[in-house]
Chains A and B, each alone.
Chain A
């Protein structure tokens, strides 16, 4: 039975692959070709759509053109599947010959995209995936990021935890890159400021049976708990934490992905939860207000941090094109323009580090009335250390 089952699984997956092939279109030569490789199905579908919407909104605001050139879009659904990432990226790079590759959400997929981009010298903007490596040891002149590194928000929270006077903290995350890099960022700032992480706990991704860890936390009685969880698992964790009564005695701290997109699912359990991220609700910033208004009008829904990252990816590329006078063949000029750009982002203005990652403010947010309200800026213009990058 086991053998048959295995064979059938492979066959089924093969069929799914064949069905998933998207057909390309012939491009007109005068247009700039932008390839979106993002998740349009599966758990991250809404993130992929938000990034696409944000990108297109900026282009539409410029009258549908960047530096006088029309934009033609190509899309590939990456399904957040690292196994298909190289093939998918090659569809856009080799078949469609895009001038700019935009993607993606999942770090494993993004790492494979960065490799393809480096090999083919295609310009890449990563609009979400936070893997430290992309703008760290694997950085490249043609690889940019409009979002964050996993290290950034967590580092800011480490500072916050120390400022609040916590001495003894326990961490918990899934045992995968995003989680472990976040924990490292938190620990770096927290222990520099004299705090001590007394225990690091992990569970396999995407396991959501948290009860044993809650019992451990209760017996360790730390001053606070720092976690990295995202998506549905994050909503479940916050609910379990509150149901166990731990939220009354042991404050829960997290990277912003703990609450983003999850506030409805968490209900009352998420109340007053504090997280750190490079975006927040209620920013006192005209650009943000205009951005949100247009987005809500255009797409009939509220924008989120992912939409902002997509919007800024377009702004970043726009700055590069401007510097090259709209001539994509002058890639060195495009890159110079992007490196020098000061992006007027809805999150607040930012510039890029030498490793091509945003140098940005990280906000401390608190869940209030179904929103992640900004309550402070623990770190201004925080740059990722970009360890291992030789740019």
Chain B
């Protein structure tokens, strides 16, 4: 970089970078929210969470090609992934609750390999694009040369709605109450005559569907490609740990913090951009070892 070429930005650019941060943070939240539910409430370390995201993106690609509409793809995709999630819980994860984390990690690592191999056999190894739905394909001009794609704003909107809905379900509904109770004391909840197995199945299926929805929504802007899940897996764990394991609000705050750290890190500290996110994690964990919001 030539001398005198300041990295500090003018005010308009600063505002746009704020928007970038917010938008990226909200997308991260969508991916991480499912993980924080499964990890925090059920105590399962699910390395295959990134694969669920990948499955969502490929579903968006396959179903959009078949139906011609991303909306239809999402409408079909959500119940489909919910059912697959419930089946996986029944067939595999329900046997893991009382086991060691190590065994959970082994199973879910194996699932990553299986899902990637299936993806390769069924859809292939090519990079695919998914078209942005026509009504959202416009861009809003922000400066003389830069515009902002409407679709990115739509994703942010969906993320906000989902955050509020998740909060409402968990804090204000009977189902949410049972979920929280099951998190505190599984045996006691069972003794009260609540079918805790069914609750866990629903939570797991919901976690799967949320990750897949994130993949479906992100498909048009991120492209669809092999191993795309591994890119989001680590950042999702970072968010869950920073936010406080099991806390949906915590995950939201953490995702926004990471969004800001990543965006401004890239612009202001380009040589250390890869580290900024993890520095933030280290600082937060030193300050609050349990994460920003403890579970509860």
Contacts and interface: CB of A to CB of B under 8 A. Distances in A.
Interface string A13-29: 00010000000000000
Nearest to B264: A212
Contacts of A219: 9-10, 12-13, 143
A375 interface: no
B226 A43 contact: yes
A5 B105 contact: yes
Interface string B260-283: 001110110011011000000000
Interface stretch (A104-112, A154-162, A235-243, A286-294): A235-243
Interface in A188-205: 198-204
A209 B9 CA distance: 19
A212 B100 CA distance: 41
B139 A244 contact: yes
Residue from A43, A212, A250 having most chain B Cβ neighbours under 10 A: A212
Contact of A245 (B12, B139, B226, B271): B139
A216 interface: yes
Nearest to B105: A8
Contact of B131 (A213, A236, A267): A267
Contact of A212 (B45, B102, B263): B263
A203 B148 contact: no
A299 interface: no
A199 B5 CA distance: 8
Interface in B110-139: 110, 113, 120, 125-129, 131-132, 139
Given A4-B105, A12-B106, A219-B10, A212 B267 contact: yes
Contacts of A244: 139, 146-149
B71 interface: no
A246 B274 CA distance: 25
Contacts of B51: none
B228 interface: yes
Contacts of A245: 139, 141, 145-147
Interface residues of A, number: 54
Contact of B273 (A1, A204, A206, A246): A204
Interface stretch (A130-138, A258-266, A321-329): A258-266
Contacts of A240: 221
Contacts of A264: 126-129
A166 B24 CA distance: 33
Contacts of B17: 212, 215
Given A46-B126, A209-B262, A243-B221, A215 B13 contact: yes
A216 B267 contact: yes
Contacts of A175: 274
A207 to B, nearest CB: 8
A214 B23 CA distance: 14
A218 B146 contact: yes
B173 interface: no
Given A8-B109, A201-B270, A235 B129 contact: yes
A285 interface: no
Contacts of B270: 201-203
Interface in B9-57: 9-10, 12-13, 16-17, 20, 23-24, 45
18 contacts: A41-B120, A46-B126, A201-B270, A204-B273, A204-B274, A208-B222, A211-B23, A213-B266, A219-B10, A232-B225, A235-B223, A243-B147, A243-B149, A243-B221, A248-B145, A261-B126, A264-B128, A265-B126
Given A11-B106, A202-B271, A265-B127, 5 more contacts: A43-B226, A211-B24, A244-B139, A245-B141, A265-B126
